[in-house]
Structure 1
Amino acid sequence: MADSSEDLKARRKAAAAESTRWLTGRRPSVADALRKLADVATDEERDGYGSGGEVALLESEVAELLGKPAAVFMPTGIAAQQSVLRVFADRAGTQRVAVHGLSHLLVHELNALEEVHRLRIERLTAEPRQPRPDELAAIPGSLAAVTLELPLRDAGFVLPTWDELVLFAEACAARGVPLHLDGARLWESTPYLGHSLAEVAELATTVYVSFYKGLGGLSGAAVAGPVDVIAEVRRWQRRLGANPYTLFPYAVSAREGLRSVLPLMGDLHDRAVELAVGLQANGFRVFPEPPHTNSFRVYAPRPADKMERAAVRRMEATRESLTYLWRAADVPGWSWVELVVTPDTLAWPVDEVVKAFGELLGD
């Protein structure tokens, strides 16, 4: 008799705990995380409510990387982006904000923009791709801001080309509307776009970045932009309770991510492309093809429940963790999973990863 879904989840959790090798990396224990923080922290004084210390150093580094005059660090991206969009709405005298229908702002935040700030959402498109200038032009009337998620995670980590990004930014500028980049994974996007972080950020008025995704920090985010806008964002940071007594653990881990992981983004993207080629040649399909970032979707010609059981059995037998949960695809009988290439992935030869995935099909 096959395990129930709950039993299978319990088996996966137990197998993950006993694994000794992880393709996409393992979340460190509390003790390991604290030891690392102690090793990399400076002798700076602690920040006070997000002011000074490691937080100030991080804000300065982010502003320089993004080529913006100022930046503010916050514990969550949700608070960071709510704050900047609220500033734009108050300045413009309208609550209308143009957003992609698959944006994290709409899909994963419990309708916060409307419930908390009464912003009115104008959807650019709901298609699993980046929006086009003509779709922006089709939205009449005044807009407080336009947001662009780079990459669009819920479409499969999809990016525009550089030329498409420039054209979209020019359309916003011609309309006189601030462009805000939702760049939770912007660090991972520059290899495909072929331009530096500052060159990408120059196309927008404000940019949000995250530190716990590709950079592996504990948590935290930053918004960079004009001095006057960031000053107003700080006021909303306070109103939203996003400046606790101290933020130094998050700032320390974020700065370490900038030092140790950011320089690897080109290598991570190259490895993602190599893995995609190998998987495509061995019964799988990938999207996008080739991957736009270090993350992409892998599709298997087998139902999700069977792929998940095969994955868990392999974990139990080899003590190796390959993937997250497999999910049902739109095509009946197929399934998919996100594959995120991390620095840990670089220790795995490409042919070994392809062989391991192939075992899930042949199980």
Structure 2
Amino acid sequence: MAYPTASSADDLKTRRKAAAAESTRWLTGRRPSVADTLRQLADVATEDARDGYGTGGEVALLEAEVAELLGKPAAVFMPTGIAAQQSVLRVFADRAGTQRVAVHGLSHLLVHELNALEELHHLRIERLTSERRQPRPDELAAIPGRLAAVALELPLRDAGFVLPTWDELVIFAEACAQRGVPLHLDGARLWESTPYLGHSLAEVAALASTVYVSFYKGLGGLSGAALAGPEDVVAEVRRWQRRLGANPYTLFPYAVSARDGLRRVLPRMGELHDRAVELAAELDRTGFRVFPAPPHTNSFRVYAPRPAEEIELAAVRRMEATRESLVHSWLPADVPGWSWVELVVTPDTLAWRVDEVVKGFGDLLAD
């Protein structure tokens, strides 16, 4: 089979977009229309939903709920996780009198934010490791000198949504405490992590000084994030929120959808993780490879023994023929001739039988 040229690759993207628009069934779900989204928000909003610059209304209710769920004294809602995490790490750096922050080399903070920590806040990044796994206490110990904070992404998305075991997490947290360094949890997908860790959100959060959580990923909210921790730290974070322009005139639509996600989706995280484990096992028996095996959350990577250009063409052809959308675009893997994609199990995935999913993926190898 001839490999697509640059122009044919663009054509394939156009075909994928058109096929996705015509699809009537989506394995990982499809966001509702703007009109349906607004109607849903109107149905679930409280009578006095509106906040003023992030104060009162649904925002205050959401902050109280998050603080209780995470077992922290206070929480602040922000429109983006980038602003939330920049703010808290800047607070820790100012308090410690050092700009050195330890993070994983594959952390979202480094990979997807245009070097914001260094460019905006002049923080000095110390990499714990860049391997596709969670960092270890000995790697923390190998970084000499004073640190302002340690940030731990749970799960580590760019490594394949990997988590430490509960015991490993406890030991790492203890290493931070013994060194006197605040541990910050980058928990964009922390909601999805508790089934594997086997402990509640509050028990996980208790291991860290501060915790960031997101509302638009696993919970399906419009946007937004929260930062939870001690009252004095959260108060300082609010000041940085203002400095960063992260408290617009009102945030209530985001807060309403976030609270709706907490009600509807959070209780189902165990069910979603179970289905991810089941799907991964079946796909592994069908010629694919999955990582991690078994999945640590409701999301995992699927590797296929077929070049990305070929399997992507097969995927688009299948979408056009069946009007079913399985996953997003396939990407080249590190091993030549292989490709990979993320599979995120959502409540919509539960409407598919496991054998239907396996057959759909199998079609991409048989094309």
**Which amino acid in the other structure matches residue 190 of structure 2?**
L
Query: Is the counterpart of residue 191 in structure 1 residue 191 in structure 2?
Result: no
Query: Is the counterpart of residue 298 in structure 1 residue 302 in structure 2?
Result: yes
Residue matched to 2:146: 142
Q: Which runs of 5+ in 1 are unaligned?
A: none
Residue matched to 1:310: 314
In the superposition, the TM-score normalised over structure 2's length comes to 0.98
Distance in 2 (CA, whole Å) between partners of 1:68 and 1:125 is 29
Distance in 2 (CA, whole Å) between partners of 1:45 and 1:5 is 46
Query: Is the counterpart of residue 21 in structure 1 residue 3 in structure 2?
Result: no
Secondary structure of the structure 1 residue equivalent to 2:216: coil
Query: CA offset at residue 45 of structure 1?
Result: 4.4
Residue matched to 1:123: 127
Equivalent residues of 2:152, 2:184 under 8 A apart:
yes
1:254 to 250, 253, 258: 258
**Which amino acid in the other structure matches residue 304 of structure 2?**
A
Deviations 1:94-119 (A, max 9, x none): 00000000000000000000000000
Distance in 1 (CA, whole Å) between partners of 2:50 and 2:198 is 37
Secondary structure of the structure 2 residue equivalent to 1:4: helix
Query: Is the counterpart of residue 68 in structure 1 residue 72 in structure 2?
Result: yes
Query: Is the counterpart of residue 320 in structure 1 residue 324 in structure 2?
Result: yes
- Equivalent positions of 1:78-227 (< 5 A) are 78-227=82-231
In the superposition, the TM-score normalised over structure 1's length comes to 0.99
Runs of 4+ displaced beyond 6 Å: none
Distance in 2 (CA, whole Å) between partners of 1:194 and 1:118 is 37
Q: Which runs of 5+ in 2 are unaligned?
A: none
**Which amino acid in the other structure matches residue 50 of structure 1?**
G
Distance in 2 (CA, whole Å) between partners of 1:265 and 1:55 is 24
Residue matched to 2:269: 265
Distance in 2 (CA, whole Å) between partners of 1:155 and 1:24 is 20
**Which amino acid in the other structure matches residue 31 of structure 1?**
A
Query: CA offset at residue 27 of structure 1?
Result: 1.7
- Equivalent positions of 1:38-49 (< 5 A) are 38-49=42-53
Residue matched to 1:37: 41
Secondary structure of the structure 1 residue equivalent to 2:164: coil
Residue matched to 1:238: 242
Distance in 2 (CA, whole Å) between partners of 1:44 and 1:93 is 42
Deviations 1:281-300 (A, max 9, x none): 10000000000000000000
Percent sequence identity over matched residues?
Answer: 87
Residue matched to 2:358: 354
1:287 to 254, 277, 291: 291
Distance in 1 (CA, whole Å) between partners of 2:170 and 2:8 is 49
Distance in 2 (CA, whole Å) between partners of 1:328 and 1:24 is 21
Deviations 1:322-356 (A, max 9, x none): 01110000111100000000000000000110011
Deviations 1:112-149 (A, max 9, x none): 00000000000000001000000000000000000000
Query: CA offset at residue 28 of structure 1?
Result: 1.7
CA RMSD of aligned residues (A): 0.7
Distance in 2 (CA, whole Å) between partners of 1:46 and 1:302 is 51
